[in-house]
Amino acid sequence: MNKNYSKMKNIKDIRWVGVFLMLVSVTSISSCNKYLSTQPTTFFPVNSYFQTADEMNSALTGVYQILASGNLYGENLWCFLNSGTDESFYARSSTTTGTQVYNYTFSDGVIGGFWTDLYTGINRANLILDNINKPVMDSVSRNSVKGEALFLRAFYYFQLVSNWGDVPMPLHATTSPDSIYFPKTMSKVIYAQIINDMTAADSLVYPITHWGFSGRISQTTVEGILARVCLFRAGYPFTDSSSYWFSQALNWSNKVINSGNHSLNPSYSQIFINQCQNLYDIKESMWEVEFVGNGIGTNTQTYGWVGSANGIACSDNNIGYSYGFLNTTATLFNAYSGNKLLSSPDTRRDWNIAPFSYKSYTNSVSGVIDSTVMTTWAITSIYNRNVGKWRRSYELASPKSKNFTSINFPVLRYADVLLMKAEAENEINQGPTTDAYEAINQVRRRAYGFPIDIANKISDLPIGLGYTAFQQAVYNERLLELCFEGLRRNDLIRWGIFIPTMKALANQITTTAPSNFLYAAMAGNNVQPKHLLFPIPSSEMSLNPGIGSQNFGW
């Protein structure tokens, strides 16, 4: 086995403990998700904590834990909040309300849970930063904890500002339920704080080679996410006509590339097989949200729905039960070259979009499944196809849980960094440079099964593309490479093309889809300008007198 993939999931460093939840219970931590709710039973004051390095690290664990919440990467962020785009639809015709079809109100539980958990993570990070100098610990370790807390706080604020716009921005811990007056801060100010905090973190945290796995924040993780933040700052709603933010995005992308710590995995599918098998490839998969256990027996630590909610529909738990909530659109399927053929030269298509279905046969007497067979979809059966990116057939847990898995979810991959570099180069120079071509072509060569560093006329983009054509090529490549990773909706919004893209999608479905899948047009038909931002949750509007006005249209 390649040494890059041989490190098993490290649960010693990122272990979910209850002590920090008890510590900050006065901040009204709550959870409405299905599997991470922890109700504290003991309370003690903050000033008696943070006395040792172990207590500080346990507190940091609590900040990371929010990432695995069902309201974030445990399920909702990539399923309910990001399923309705040009890459996928929520494959339940009976679902006529909810975030997945853009028919919801400011009292929606998914919206409220996302908001609440982000602020819970911020408050936990603030507690650490307020007390970072308390314990006796070596300066390098202290700096790492500080840097990770700064970054995670900034990352949670990035989720807030990119989804809600102006929001409250407390930078110190709330330790009393009486502290409820938090006015909004302007988005530009929040982005400035995010960038300042992440820039400070870059010089404090360890390189990824120190950890040897992708669950902890490292220098290149910080730099890669900074590139993402700067691209968002350049886009809607700011749409700065200067190239400043694109130059910043290019700078941070180049830091990742020039570090020498990262490269593309030669096999696209192996990235996701690794995540199913709790293996790490720190070269490609730079940051993953970690899940441990599946809720069975002693494996009850922190588990998610990756592969269960967004997998290939299957009722045989020996293979791995999946609800198959998400199906592909024809837009995504047809975007892969060779879509009219039984096979595509782009290997990503038949990995990301399941080319087969499972059918189980149950014994009429015992009620037990006798057998399960795989049936290949006809090339014309596009809308029937589930997401295939995380396949539970590769999962190593035994026994497998019907609902829960320990499959990690990627937040940042090296391919994303290369595509951000290509995008930034094109925007700065108003046309593609040699470096821009090379960055995007590395991703494309891997997709076609060719050596990554050798030019190939089959996979490489044609030379001579203008600014607009290359920009569209980047937009398209992000769809093909990063589909189902919870990025598409926000990409479309920052590019300023979300509403027309969704309206075009609805029209395509209405005019070309089989009658039993016409409901897939619902999300595109429902989209309105107000959906560029989420509504401020009803609970915040009622409990925080400083919040001010509701977001536009809500």
How is the chain split into domains, by residue range?
Answer: 20-205
pLDDT at 9: 46
Please compute the mean of the pLDDT values over residues 280-291 and round it to a whole number.
96
How crowded is residue 462: how many other Cβ atoms within 10 Å of its Cβ? 9
pLDDT at 242: 85
Please compute the mean of the pLDDT values over residues 105-117 and round it to a whole number.
97
Give tens-digit pLDDT for 507-544: 999 999 999 999 999 999 999 999 999 999 999 999 99
Average pLDDT taken over every residue of the chain = 89
Residue-level length of the chain: 554
Please, which pLDDT band fits residue 295 given cuts at 50, 70 and 90?
A: confident
More confident residue, 274 or 1: 274
Please compute the mean of the pLDDT values over residues 214-235 and round it to a whole number.
98
Q: Residues with Cβ < 8 Å from 79, sequence gap 6 or more?
A: 100, 305, 309, 310, 325, 326
Domain 20-205 falls under CATH 1.25.40.390: yes
Give tens-digit pLDDT for 446-491: 999 999 999 999 999 999 999 999 999 999 999 999 999 999 999 9
Q: The pTM is what?
A: 0.92
Long-range own/partner contacts, residues 252-255 (CB < 8 A, 24 or more apart): 252/223, 252/224, 252/226, 252/227, 253/223, 253/224, 253/227, 253/417, 253/418, 253/420, 253/421, 253/424, 254/421, 255/220, 255/223
pLDDT at 176: 67
Amino acid in position 224: G
pLDDT at 177: 63
pLDDT at 220: 98
| Residue owning tokens 């809500």 | 554
pLDDT at 24: 40
Please compute the mean of the pLDDT values over residues 178-197 and round it to a whole number.
92
pLDDT at 343: 67
- Distance (Å, whole) CA 49 – CA 56: 8
Integer angstrom CA distances of residue 110 from 121, 168, 349, 452: 17, 19, 30, 40
Q: Residues with Cβ < 8 Å from 469, sequence gap 6 or more?
A: none
